[in-house]
A and B are shown apart, each in its own frame.
Chain A
Amino acid sequence: MNVARRWRRQGVIWLLLAPSLAIFFLYRIVPLGWNAVLSVQKWSPLRPAEFAGLYHYEEMLLHDDVFWTSLGNTLVYMASAPIGIALALALALLVNAGLRGRTVYRAIIFVSYPLMTVAVGIIWRWLYDEKLGLINYVLIRLGLVERGIAFLDSFTWAMPAVIVAAIWQIVGFFMIIVLAGLQSIPPNLYEAAAIDGADRGQRFARITVPLLRPSLFLCLVLGIINSFTSFDLIYVMTRGGPNYATELLITYIYRAAFVLSQLDYAAALTVVLFVLLLAVTWAANRATGGEAGAVEAAE
């Protein structure tokens, strides 16, 4: 009787888990394996698959400049995450203070996150426009340049331009996370420290930063994942151009698969992207000592 009941409960629990697990199995685990298989095959919708060993990887690592360019860009894009996080931290500290109208500030700073990325891309694309763009207009009025800069067509400016747009959208989200961390810090710690005569800087360094670690780590991981997945902005703003200056791995995967119609090669790229992502996150995890439990996906 009792045994039977325990078994029933176990069954119920697994039933509760089933739908979610099924979805992750279908759209995370299986694709991962399938990718690995595709990446060692020569395959196209028009030809039957044949085993190709490391053919694609060899091509990628030894002969494909675009792969290396997009890899570099991805790293640059990733390196911009800390900037956003620092910004978010600063803002969080400011709006955390007992300030009048802080809720309003929070809302305003956060509002860019729920916006549709495609629309955001279109808006920034046009703010950056050489002739009509607000940014160029301001620069000219300020006398910083005498002719508009075609930001998104310029090898030097395209990447920074996209990064600014990306930070603009994500910073509010980071801020909220940091804010959460700040609010979970018991105030009495500060009071105690104040009594011990620690000045603000010390309090910040000794209390705030250590206790914020999980939140900051979370932001960092989100930033990293973002740099591997933010397809929409690039697709709308630059399509990876000019001359691959803003091509990220994810956009290159799309290009390889659907523009150059080499799905097998794209699969190999995907495998590399995934390994890289794991490596970086693991490194970040070690570096900050944050617990992986706080990691959240940023679909």
Chain B
Amino acid sequence: MKLVRLVVLGAVLMAAVAGCPETAAAQQKISVLTWNIPVYKEKIEGWIADFRKIHPDVQVEWLDKKGPEWGPFYQTQLVAGTAPDVIDVQGGLWLEYAANNGLVDLGPFLARDPEVKDYYNPRILPSWNYEGKQYMVPFYISKTLLFYNKTMLKEAGLTRPPQSFEELVDFARQMGKGEKSGFMTLNFDWLYWPLFAMNGVELLSPDGKKAAFNTPSAAKALDTLAKATADGAVNKVSWTGRWVEPNDAFASGTVGMYQAHAPAFFYVRGSGKWISADTLGVAQMPGGFATPNSHGFGISKSSKRPDLAWDFIKVATNEKWGYTFGTTLRNLTGAPRVDTRILEYFQKEDPLAYSVLKTQVENLDKLVGNWRQAKDAQIKEAFYTEIQAALLGRKPAAQALAEAERKVNRILQR
């Protein structure tokens, strides 16, 4: 009875497998989803150990996803009703979840421990405030700045970083020769927005109901950038690459100026042999505009134990771990007390890193591209698609802006 035996084998096998670990989170288990920090494994195990000193009977599951996978993953987990309790979200992605009432309002928790509330930087906390509710607390903070390759500036006879959009493009043209290009920017989220901000462009009308970016100055700026890109003064990777490609390009020493946020520096220094205090310059973008790209901790609405989740967040962001994180992964944490210590540490250990990190807490009043729009993700997608087409010379700037305007308004109406 070969077949019968097969059937039995099959049945047994399936039965065996069906009994496999299921992730419908048990009461005494919380799960934590971080954003692309697998290298930090050992320390996160430290968080968990500390957390379990307070709650010995609670299991902690740690998950990590890289940027592009993070959103889709969280989405599938939302559908399955197994969304991780504690989530580490980058940039504006949290807005959509907050607006759809998918996140826990942390206000009450903060009200309950005021010392924790005062622990976080009061000028940074509001950036996770949506319609009067506090949905996130800072995990680590970053915003864009301008790195420049002093050697290349010197070769082009330039003595200082640009002070205006016109200068920026002009400098880029002077440096962009042959294999070399003068300027490059990161483009994910809204990191390229300072380029528009310094031309006085607003994305939306003050009431946030209509698109407001389709202006002559915007068209002019876009056109200028497109031309500069076509001539190789602005590196094409600015509009095609995501993270690794632009960093590698700058690390290769063939790009004059690079608008990116602090974490890019440490990636670049890892692979760029040329980088030292004498060769790498650090400045604010013209006009001091910068787009934040900070990470915050939030709690999923579906969490069965928000109280435990909150305790975990407190551990992960406390002075000990904040300092460890800042000094190991070279970031500031949005907790002033910790950040001062981190800065002191780097001033001593690594002056160049210090000069970079310092910029991250300067002119926090010049933050742009961080509007609290429920449909941020969709708007970003629609807007950038058109802008990218123009920047890569597939569409005239005016037409691209018009179409972007149409789409964005459509999204806002839906």
A and B touch in the complex (CB under 8 A): yes
- A→B interface (CB under 8 Å): 44-47, 59, 63, 65-66, 150, 153, 155, 239, 241-244, 254, 257-261, 263
Residues of B within 8 A of A243 (CB): 385, 388-389, 392, 394
Closest to A155 in B: B394
Q: Which of B75, B96, B240, B385 contacts A244 (CB 8 A)?
A: B385
CB-based contact B75/A46 at 8 Å: no
B60-86: CB near A (< 8 Å → 1, else 0) gives: 000000001001100110110100000
Q: Is B102's CB under 8 angstroms from A258's CB? A: no
Q: What's the Cα separation between A63 and B410 when bound, in Å?
A: 8
> With A244-B385, A260-B377, A263-B79 in contact, do A47 and B100 touch (Cβ < 8 Å)?
yes
Q: Within the complex, what minimum Cβ distance (angstroms) separates A20 from chain B?
A: 13
> Smallest CB–CB gap between A239 and chain B, Å?
7
Q: Could you tell me the distance between the alpha carbons of A65 and B411 in the complex, rounded to whole angstroms?
A: 13
Complexed CA–CA distance, A171 and B3 (Å) = 36
Closest Cβ–Cβ distance, residue A78 to chain B (whole Å): 24
State A45–B76 Cα separation when bound (angstroms). Answer: 9
Instruction: Tell me whether B240 and A258 are in contact (CB under 8 A).
Output: no
Q: Which of A44, A46, A239 contacts B68 (CB 8 A)?
A: A239
CB neighbours of A254 from chain B (8 A): 72
C-alpha spacing A47/B301, complex, angstroms: 12
Residues of B with C-beta under 8 A to A258: 71-72, 75-76
Q: Which residues of A contact B81 (CB under 8 A)?
A: 45
Distance A254 CA – B69 CA, assembled complex (angstroms) = 12
- Minimum C-beta distance from A145 to chain B (A): 15
Report which of A46, A66, A150, A153 forms a contact with B100, defined as CB distance below 8 A: A46
Which residues from chain B contact A263 at a C-beta distance below 8 Å? 79
Which residue of A has the minimal Cβ distance to B393?
Answer: A155
B75 touches A257 (CB 8 A): yes
> 8 additional contacts, CB 8 Å, given A66-B385, A242-B388, A259-B71?
A45-B75, A45-B78, A153-B236, A155-B394, A254-B72, A258-B76, A259-B72, A259-B377
Tell me whether B378 is interfacial, beta carbon within 8 Å.
Answer: yes
Q: How far is the CA of A244 from the CA of B384 in the complex (A)?
A: 12
Q: Residues of B contacting A66 with CB < 8 Å?
A: 385
State the CA gap A241–B239 with chains docked (Å). 12
Residue from the list A65, A155, A244 in contact with B392, Cβ < 8 A: A155
Q: Which of B186-245 contact A (CB under 8 A)?
A: 236, 240
Instruction: Tell whether A44 pairs with B100 under 8 Å between CB atoms, given A155-B392, A258-B71, A259-B71.
Output: yes
B344 contacts A by Cβ under 8 Å: no
Q: Does B328 contact A (CB under 8 A)?
A: no
Query: Is there an interface contact between A45 and B392, defined as CB atoms closer than 8 Å?
Result: no
Chain A nearest Cβ from B6, distance in angstroms: 13
Whether A260 contacts B385 by the Cβ 8 Å rule is: no
Question: Closest Cβ of chain A: how far from B305's Cβ, in Å?
Answer: 19
20 A-B pairs (CB sep. < 8 Å): A44-B100, A45-B75, A46-B100, A46-B101, A63-B410, A150-B236, A150-B240, A153-B240, A155-B394, A242-B240, A254-B72, A258-B71, A258-B72, A258-B75, A259-B377, A260-B378, A261-B71, A261-B78, A261-B96, A263-B79
Decide if B381 is an interface residue (CB 8 Å cutoff): yes
Contacts of A259 in B (CB 8 A): 71-72, 75, 377
CB neighbours (8 Å) of B236 from chain A are 150, 153
What is the minimal beta-carbon distance from B246 to any residue of chain A, in angstroms? 12
Contacts of B79 in A (CB 8 A): 45, 263
**A residues within 8 A CB of B71?**
258-259, 261
Task: Tell me the minimal C-beta distance from A226 to chain B in angstroms.
Answer: 23
Question: In whole Å, how far is A222's beta carbon from the nearest beta carbon of chain B?
Answer: 28
Chain B 8-23 interface residues, beta-carbon cutoff 8 Å to A: none
| Minimum C-beta distance from A161 to chain B (A) | 14
Q: A46-B101, A47-B100, A243-B388 are in contact. Are A261 and B240 (CB under 8 A)?
A: no
Q: How far is the CB of B10 from chain A (nearest CB, A)?
A: 10
Q: Which residues 371-387 in B have Cβ within 8 Å of A in the complex?
A: 377-378, 381, 385
Interchain nearest-CB distance for B391 vs A (Å): 10
In the complex, A254→B71 CA distance in Å?
A: 12
Q: Given the complex, which residues of B lie within 8 Å of A46, measured CB to CB?
A: 78, 97, 100-102, 301
- Cα A258 to Cα B301 in complex, Å, equals 19
Chain B, 88-99, contact with A by CB distance < 8 Å: what is the 0/1 string? 000000001100
Instruction: For residue A190, give the distance in angstroms from its CB to the closest CB of chain B.
Output: 43
Q: Which of A59, A239, A241, A242 has the most CB of B within 10 A?
A: A242
B392–A260 touching, CB < 8 Å: no
The residues of B that contact A257 with a CB separation of less than 8 Å are 75
Measured CA separation A128–B385 after assembly (Å): 24
Measured CA separation A260–B100 after assembly (Å): 13
A155 to B72, CA, bound (A): 25
CB contacts (< 8 Å) of B97 on chain A: these are 46
How near does chain B come to A256, taking the closest CB pair, in angstroms? 10
Closest to A242 in B: B240
When the two chains form the complex, which single residue of A65, A153, A261 contacts B75, counting CB atoms closer than 8 Å? A261
Bound complex: CA A254 to CA B72 (Å): 9
Contacts of A44 in B (CB 8 A): 100
Q: How far is the CA of A242 from the CA of B236 in the complex (A)?
A: 12
Contact with A along B246-275 (1 / 0, CB 8 A): 000000000000000000000000000000
Most chain B C-beta atoms within 10 Å of own C-beta, residue among A44, A46, A65, A242:
A46
Residue of chain A at shortest CB distance from B240: A153
Distance between A247 CB and nearest chain B CB, rounded to angstroms: 10
A44 CA to B385 CA in the complex, in Å? 25
Which B residue sits closest to A239, measured CB to CB? B68
Instruction: Give B300-327 as 1s and 0s: 1 = Cβ < 8 Å from A's Cβ atoms.
Output: 0100000000000000000000000000
**Would you list the 9 A-B pairs with minimal beta carbon distance, nearest first?**
A258-B72, A46-B100, A45-B78, A153-B240, A258-B75, A45-B79, A46-B102, A261-B75, A243-B388
A242 CA to B241 CA in the complex, in Å?
10
